[in-house]
Amino acid sequence: MTIENMNVSEENTVYPPNPALFNGTAPKPWISSLEQYREMYKESIEQPDAFWTRMALDNLSWSRPFTKVRQGSLDEGDVAWFVDGELNISYNCVDRWAEADPERVAFVYEADEPGNAQKWTYRRLLQEVCRVSNVLTSFGLRKGDTVAIYMPMIPEAAVSMLACARLGLVHTVVFAGFSASSLAERVQDAGSRVIITADEGLRGSKIIKTKAIVDEAVQSCPKVERVLVFRRTGNEVAFNKDRDVWWHEATDKQRPYCPPVPVSAEDPLFLLYTSGSTGKPKGVLHTTGGYLLGATITAKYVFDIHAGDVFCCTADIGWITGHSYVVYGPLSLGATSVIFESVPTYPDPSRYWKLVEEHKITQFYTAPTAIRALRRLGDSWVDKCDLSSLRVIGSVGEPINPEAWLWYYNKVGRGNCSVVDTYWQTETGSHVIAPLPGATPAKPGSATLPFFGIDVAVLDPLTGKELEGNGVTGVLAIRKPWPSMLRTVGGDHKRFLDTYLKPYPGHYFAGDGVTRDEEGYYWIRGRVDDVINVSGHRLSTAEVESALILSPSVAESAVVGSPDEVTGQAICAFITLKDGVSATEEEVKKELVAAVRKQIGPIATPKILIIVDDLPKTRSGKIIRRILRKVVAGEADQLGDVSTLSDPSILKVLIEKVNAVV
Ligand code: WT7
């Protein structure tokens, strides 16, 4: 394992918690001083049972109280929380608020076409969730069965998740940008008998043939018995009467109440697939009680959500960010959550800011790639909108560079908001390193300090020895279990142990490099494994390589991340061709781009494709990706030790080829 590009930023200006949060018109922040944070953090580490008992009882409603807070360990990989407690997530997220205040808005749905916002009250949400639960029961599904959800960003996607949770069904949401073969792989792995989808999707006025993709996927999923189809655009789609069921027809027949099924805190809630170092995506498994508690209290403290707040997270429901901060976190707090179906530049680059203005959004959460792209398009789009409702603006998915942070702070926040740079992962379930708006002084580019209960360790990547004190750089690990951590990899517990717990015994290994600066602030340095982060989306190099190698023209492929100003990293693929390929380079490249899009989806499209005669290899034939990474980063002068190369003469040609395209 190597850690590259470890240059610590010189940018060390400190931004104290924004005084505007304390001006008396805004609600007083839940955590309102650094001392208060430190005290609570100390308790969470030193007296975890007392701390987590209080959090779990104050923030969630239990149908059967737990008597044991934690059991198991990171050494054994048998972690469990609130084991004998029972609860229902849909009750916590919906019924609680529908009973207390039925007219409160749960979702604001901002459709692709502007000017059509729809408001869903908690009463309506409860009724629709119940109807869908009853439909799922009528399909013969029972507690523990899995349901795949492949839907656009519409309220019905969230309704589907909550309807599963109401019955103790395990949902597996697949991002609707994934191809038919990626969808099929996930449906098969999860063993889902039912898929919930829509006729079509709409993004920036472009039609996505959602149902047609499902039809293609189902051809290789013999176990799928039912496809429930929500009518989004109303255009005609193929319909298999023996298998497909229209959402509106099925729900019309159902009663708008369904009793929530109490489940164990440790019963599975969902599987969510994410890329790892190898080609096959992992189904990260989260359970009920610990996950909901993590999503709830991070939403509360990191975004400082109070009654009446309108929270907007722009992530798709197909990612963990959408699970935790479009659906479960905000609803568990009884807040209003915005579901945004469109893209930031449709119909023009003021879409986000008009959204904030129109719905008086109080917290806005997006990705650095969107911030950088919008910054490039000029200030006028943001300057002309009234953003005075905002108090907290968040960033997630990859390190945010100080320039983008400052633009976000000054232009979007108008200097009156706290920026929260939140570091976490699909596996962690909720934020693990993040500032608290009323407490933590921010440094642009740093995710700042650990959240409650997260015991961060910086380890020497080679020896695994802990690097104590401040001013250290190594790999990021977590020393104690926390409630919302993944429990296993679906169907492959050994892979869970091997990936996360075995590399540094006694620790959870996150896969990122990190610096703890002189003041104990954390600066995430990016992945130390073969994972590429494109616009905050994780892709494994092996996954893209496997897609490329399916092409009949390709002999070998090596994929690396190259630095990109907007997307953070971009996919750069090196290819060698088989003998006798007669197609031109342009034809081959076109075919390869199409192959990757078909195999994985548009997010995996290589930005740079370089056809070479030979790849840098060791004498035993292993491709040395480190050299490729350096060359595409423009650091060919810092290749380090190249003595292991079997044929050093290929370097010159390689560098020339790269310089010609990058
Ligand atoms: C990886 C996790 C859960 C967030 C969405 C992505 C990178 C995430 C940050 C941040 C620096 C970040 C890490 C991490 N990452 N947030 N604030 N600063 N890096 O979830 O797909 O599971 O990816 O995203 O490399 O390991 P994911």
Per the CB < 8 A criterion, the answer to whether 567 and 602 are in contact is no
Q: What is the residue type of 585?
A: E
User: Under 8 Å CB-to-CB from 108, ≥6 apart: which residues?
Assistant: 117, 118, 119, 120, 310, 336, 337, 338, 339, 359
Distance from Cα 159 to the centre of ligand 1, integer Å = 26
ipTM surpassing 0.90: yes
Average pLDDT over residues 237-244: 98
Of the ranges 162-166, 256-260, 643-647, which one carries the lowest mean pLDDT score?
Answer: 643-647
Per the CB < 8 A criterion, the answer to whether 560 and 530 are in contact is no
Of the ranges 125-134, 324-333, 440-449, 610-619, which one carries the lowest mean pLDDT score?
Answer: 610-619
Measured from the CB, is residue 523 less than 6 Å from ligand 1?
no
How far is Cα 333 from Cα 52, in angstroms, rounded to an integer?
17
Measured from the CB, is residue 398 less than 6 Å from ligand 1?
yes
Structure confidence by residue, pLDDT tens digits, 329-351: 999 999 999 999 999 999 999 99
Structure confidence by residue, pLDDT tens digits, 471-518: 999 999 999 999 999 999 999 999 999 999 999 999 999 999 999 999
Q: What is the residue type of 202?
A: L
Distance from Cα 8 to the centre of ligand 1, integer Å = 18
Per the CB < 8 A criterion, the answer to whether 86 and 64 are in contact is yes
Distance from Cα 256 to the centre of ligand 1, integer Å = 38
Beta strands in 181-309 (DSSP E): 194-198, 201-203, 206-208, 226-230, 244-246, 263-264, 268-274, 282-287
Measured from the CB, is residue 318 less than 6 Å from ligand 1?
no
Residue with CA nearest ligand 1 atom 6: 397
User: Under 8 Å CB-to-CB from 393, ≥6 apart: which residues?
Assistant: 363, 364, 365, 408, 409, 412, 413, 417, 418, 419, 420
Pocket probe mutation, ligand 1, options 538, 540, 567, 603, max atoms within 8 Å of Cβ: 538
Q: So what's the pLDDT on residue 12?
A: 65
Is the torsion defined by CA of 47, 449, 487, 483 positive or negative?
positive
How far is Cα 86 from Cα 63, in angstroms, rounded to an integer?
6
Measured from the CB, is residue 538 less than 6 Å from ligand 1?
yes
Interaxial angle between packed helices 289-302 and 48-59, expressed in degrees from 0 to 180 and rounded to the nearest 10: 80
**Mean per-residue pLDDT over the chain, rounded:** 95
How far is Cα 643 from Cα 641, in angstroms, rounded to an integer?
6
Pocket probe mutation, ligand 1, options 424, 485, 528, max atoms within 8 Å of Cβ: 424
Plot region of 144 (φ>0 → left; ψ -120 to 50 → alpha; else → beta): left
Distance from Cα 449 to the centre of ligand 1, integer Å = 15
Pocket probe mutation, ligand 1, options 396, 405, 427, 430, max atoms within 8 Å of Cβ: 396
pTM score, whole prediction:
0.93
Residue 214 has pLDDT above 90, yes or no: yes
Residue with CA nearest ligand 1 atom 2: 425
Residue 6 has pLDDT above 50, yes or no: no
Structure confidence by residue, pLDDT tens digits, 85-109: 999 999 999 999 999 999 999 999 9
Residue 535 has pLDDT above 70, yes or no: yes
> Between the CA of residue 510 and those of 426, 452, 518, 597, what are the distances in Å?
10, 17, 22, 28
Distance from Cα 13 to the centre of ligand 1, integer Å = 24
Average pLDDT over residues 254-262: 98
Distance from Cα 525 to the centre of ligand 1, integer Å = 11
How far is Cα 511 from Cα 103, in angstroms, rounded to an integer?
44
Residue 574 has pLDDT above 60, yes or no: yes
Q: Which atom of ligand 1 is nearest to the CA of 536?
A: 6
- Give percent of the chain above pLDDT 90: 88
How far is Cα 305 from Cα 300, in angstroms, rounded to an integer?
5
Distance from Cα 396 to the centre of ligand 1, integer Å = 7
How far is Cα 482 from Cα 500, in angstroms, rounded to an integer?
14
Distance from Cα 444 to the centre of ligand 1, integer Å = 17
In degrees rounded to 5, what are phi and psi of residue 85?
-80, 155
Residue with CA nearest ligand 1 atom 17: 423
Measured from the CB, is residue 539 less than 6 Å from ligand 1?
no
Per the CB < 8 A criterion, the answer to whether 476 and 458 are in contact is yes
- Helix and strand counts by DSSP (H, E) for the chain: 21, 30
How far is Cα 472 from Cα 461, in angstroms, rounded to an integer?
12
Measured from the CB, is residue 316 less than 6 Å from ligand 1?
no
Structure confidence by residue, pLDDT tens digits, 425-446: 999 999 999 999 999 999 999 9
Distance from Cα 394 to the centre of ligand 1, integer Å = 13
Residue with CA nearest ligand 1 atom 12: 398
Burial 99-134 (b: 16+ CB within 10 A, else e): eeeeebbbbbbbbbeeeeeeebbbbbbbbbbbbbbb
| 251 token code pair | 């729900």
